């Protein structure tokens, strides 16, 4: 994890107690009685997992006809219902669609299940629901 920081400039009135924040860069202020300091402020919030592990999107096929579509369910309540309904709609709209259903054991789906679905299917639809 890399700490994110922002550089800010602050006008500190000379009559306030001195800052005890280590070495700071001092720049004389334009206003009488003020001194400008440049401080680096660290943001203690970690980056989200999705930002760190984001991947590019694969190209979409021109049609879903004659394709095998994987329905990848993470195991959360209602996700299976949504995926099965989406699969039924796709079978109505496109010719010769084969559906493969994959049940995970929690969010995110286990890597081996994701890999299997990717190898066995032309397209994979994943869902979580609550």
**pLDDT at position 75:** 84
> What share of the chain in percent tops pLDDT 90?
34
Q: Which of 109, 101, 111, 100 is nearest to 128 (CA)?
A: 109
Mean pLDDT of the chain: 76
Q: Does pTM top 0.85 for this prediction? A: no
**pLDDT at position 5:** 52
Query: What radius of gyration, in Å, describes the C-alpha atoms of the chain?
Result: 27
73 C-beta neighbours (distance < 10 Å), count: 23
Would you place residue 15 in the very low, low, confident or very high pLDDT band (cuts 50, 70, 90)?
very low
Handedness of CA 36, 42, 48, 53 (dihedral sign): positive
Would you place residue 66 in the very low, low, confident or very high pLDDT band (cuts 50, 70, 90)?
very high
Pure H helices in 10-107: 49-52, 79-93
């Amino acid at each position: 994890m890399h700490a994110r920081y922002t550089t800010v400039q602050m006008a500190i009135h000379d009559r306030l107690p001195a800052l005890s924040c280590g070495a700071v860069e001092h720049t004389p202020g334009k206003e009488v009685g003020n001194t400008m300091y440049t401080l680096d402020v660290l943001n203690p919030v970690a980056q989200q997992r999705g930002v760190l592990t984001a991947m590019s999107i694969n190209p979409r096929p021109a049609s879903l006809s004659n394709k095998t579509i994987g329905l990848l369910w993470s195991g959360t309540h209602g996700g299976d219902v949504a995926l099965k309904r989406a699969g039924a709609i796709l079978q109505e709209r496109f010719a010769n669609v084969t559906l493969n259903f994959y049940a995970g054991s929690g969010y995110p789906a286990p890597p081996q299940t994701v890999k299997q679905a990717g190898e066995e299917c032309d397209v994979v639809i994943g869902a979580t629901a609550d």
